[in-house]
Structure 1
Amino acid sequence: MTVREHDVPGIMERCRSLETNGKNGGTANGEPPAPPNEPAEVPEGVRLYSDLFSASHRVQMYTGNLVPGVLQTVEYACALLTALTPSVMPHMTQDQAYYRVNQGRELRSDYRRGVRMVLNESVLHQQMGAPVNVLSGQLEYLVTAISGNPQWSVQLLPSSSPLNAMQQFTTFHLVGGQTVVHAEPFGECAFSNDPPLLARRLDAFERLQAAALGPAESMERIIQRLRETWCVR
């Protein structure tokens, strides 16, 4: 579904419903799509995040020390979800991983949406207990995905920056003029369009961008780390 076709009022109602009922869902790409007859078992919060992304003309994201879900490979997503939710059945973890992959590929195919991301540079070293080839494949995919859409950019925040202590968040600037912020405490997610909160998050993102390396230098760092992982695969 394209940006123009999205039901923005319906999405806003789902945001309010999720907040009111307290049903915060838990936790894409180039990999093969999920099997057509096996719908992904994905929490409503995750689906709502994806729909907000689709309905936005601009997205700003700070994800700390993890590659954003919309840029993850299946292997990386599975390793992450397994580490965060070990009690979830393997097939459900794989469903969610494929959902991320497929959604990310679809979102990146729309060149009308500007996406700006700031990541802690430690993301280049996070293996989450998986073999180094999983991280290597993820970094390679990250380079390819960002290079493939000029409207998307990544900046690395030096590990020494005090801003790394900031909670990860995403701001969605919707086509209809509304803005929604998604903040993700550990193990849950929450959506809000509260004006004071939005103002704080927008200001925080400006500070993050100012403290981070530029997009070109950040890409050089990612490629350098990718080459290092090739040496130990």
Structure 2
Amino acid sequence: MRPTVRSRRLGNRLKSYRTASGLSGTELADRVGIHQATWSKIEAGKAKLSPPVLAATAEALRIPEEVVTQLDTLRRKAEEPGWWQDYGDILSEAVQLLIELEADASWIRTYEGDLVPGLLQTREYAERVITAVSPHIRVADIDRYLELRMRRQQRLSDGVRLTAVLGEAAIRQRIGGREVMREQLRHIERMVETHDVTIQIVPFAADAHAALGESFAIIQWPDETTTPEAVYADGVTSWTVHERDGVIRSYLHALASVQSQALSPRESLDLVHSAFEELS
């Protein structure tokens, strides 16, 4: 079984309960009635967790009933194919992981220095970005890439909270030309008005901050309190998903640093509107 974000989250939560109980993987596997190797795969998200094994594990680790309900929901979701699998022929591993992270998120915090985040892009803006950064993409696939990006944005209509911090360059550079950029800026304003979206702009006049040269998304899930976040960090040639507490804390520090240099949400919207007016 290929580990997914959901199966890894399930495994991590079970591991945290096992560690807190003082049991080794071998001891717990014996109590549950499975091989130690199988339990190791479950904790790594590489093996399915059956309802009887979950029940036996919950009893052995004295997991509260309400948490067991959450774990069972996560177990079932881990076995369900995601809608993004319909795009498997064009979907890179990096984008698939990002979509999986977004799928169950309650709060997404992003930082982008030069581009409007994908969750806030219009179709026309996204098309220009995709064709510019992937010049060898097949023409026949462009519409499917755009469809995929638009489907990702449905999470905002489902109630996920988005905090997007972006550099002033993202609202100033005329990607796609004047009309495309005007519509993109108006779209940002509409999304803030109609969804749980907050934007903050880092002005050109801002000082250095800890997120310089970075692009990342901090993901928070609603049902986790011990290690509630993961970080997706994207670069020009590589990407990484971080789940270790120490690394996550460094990205939280970087986000706090950049937000200290950013305009307030109200001032940021005013700057977006000013940029929109300048394109009239």
User: Retained in 2: the 8 A contact 1:60–1:171?
Assistant: yes
| Partner of residue 109, structure 1 | 157
Indicate whether 1:213 and 2:259 are aligned: no
% of aligned pairs identical? 22
Deviates more, 1:210-219 or 1:169-178: 169-178
Note the C-alpha offset of 1:153: 0.1
Change (3 A) 1:88 1:188: farther
- SS in structure 1 of the partner of residue 190 of structure 2: helix
Does residue 76 in structure 1 map to residue 125 in structure 2? yes
Residue 145 to residue 11, structure 1, CA distance change in 2 (3 Å): farther
Alpha-carbon distance, 1:159 to partner: 1.9
Relative to structure 1, the CA distance from residue 88 to residue 9 in structure 2 (aligned partners, 3 Å threshold; closer, same or farther) is same
Aligned residues: 198
Q: Are positions 1:52 and 2:101 aligned together? A: yes
SS at match of 1:56: coil
Give the structure-1-normalised TM-score: 0.77
Q: How many Å apart are 1:12 and its aligned residue?
A: 4.3
Q: Give the letter for the 2:256 counterpart.
A: E
Q: CA offsets per residue over residues 37-90 of structure 1, 9 Å max, x none?
A: xx5433232132122112112211101110000111111111101111101112
SS at match of 1:115: strand
Q: How does 1:96-175 map to 2 (within 5 A)?
A: 96-104=145-153, 106-111=154-159, 113-128=160-175, 130-149=176-195, 151-161=196-206, 162-163=208-209, 165-175=212-222
TM-score by length of 2: 0.65
Q: State the AA in 2 paired with 1:43.
A: S
Give the drift of 1:213: 0.2
Cα distance change, pair 137–170 in 1 and its aligned pair in 2 (3 A): same
Q: Secondary structure at the match of 1:107?
A: helix
Pick closer, same or farther for the CA change 1:188–1:89 going to 2, 3 Å.
farther
- Deviation sequence 1:153-188 (CA, Å, 0-9, x none): 000001233236241111101234231101111143
The amino acid that maps onto 1:127 is: R
Q: Distance in 2 between matches of 1:159 and 1:229?
A: 19
1:10 aligns with 2:7: yes
Asked if 1 retains the 8 angstrom alpha-carbon contact of 2:5 and 2:97, the reply is no
Please list the CA deviations of residues 131-174 of structure 1 after superposition, one character each: whole Å capped at 9, or x if unmatched.
2211111111111112111x210000012332362411111012
Which has the greater radius of gyration?
2
* Unpaired segments ≥5 residues, structure 1: 1-6, 18-38
Relative contact order (alpha carbons < 8 A, sep ≥ 6): 1 or 2 greater? 1
> Does structure 1 conserve the Cα–Cα contact (< 8 Å) formed by 2:114 and 2:170?
yes
Considering fraction of residues, name the structure with more helix: 2
Taking only aligned residues, the RMSD between alpha carbons, in angstroms, comes to 2.3
The question of whether the paired residues in 2 share the 8 Å contact of 1:8 and 1:55 is answered with no
Q: Deviations over 1:9-38 (max 9, x none)?
A: 32648xx89xxxxxxxxxxxxxxxxxxxxx
Instruction: Check if 1:43 corresponds to 2:92.
Output: yes
User: What is the distance in 2 between the residues matched to 1:200 and 1:228?
Assistant: 37
Structure 2 residue 234 is the aligned partner of structure 1 residue 184: yes
Distance in 2 of aligned mates of 1:132 and 1:90: 24
1:147 and 1:124 map into 2 onto residues whose CA distance is 18
Q: 1:91 to 1:126 in 2, by over 3 A?
A: farther
Q: Tell me the CA shift for residue 101 of structure 1.
A: 1.5
- 1:229 matched to 2:279? The reply is yes
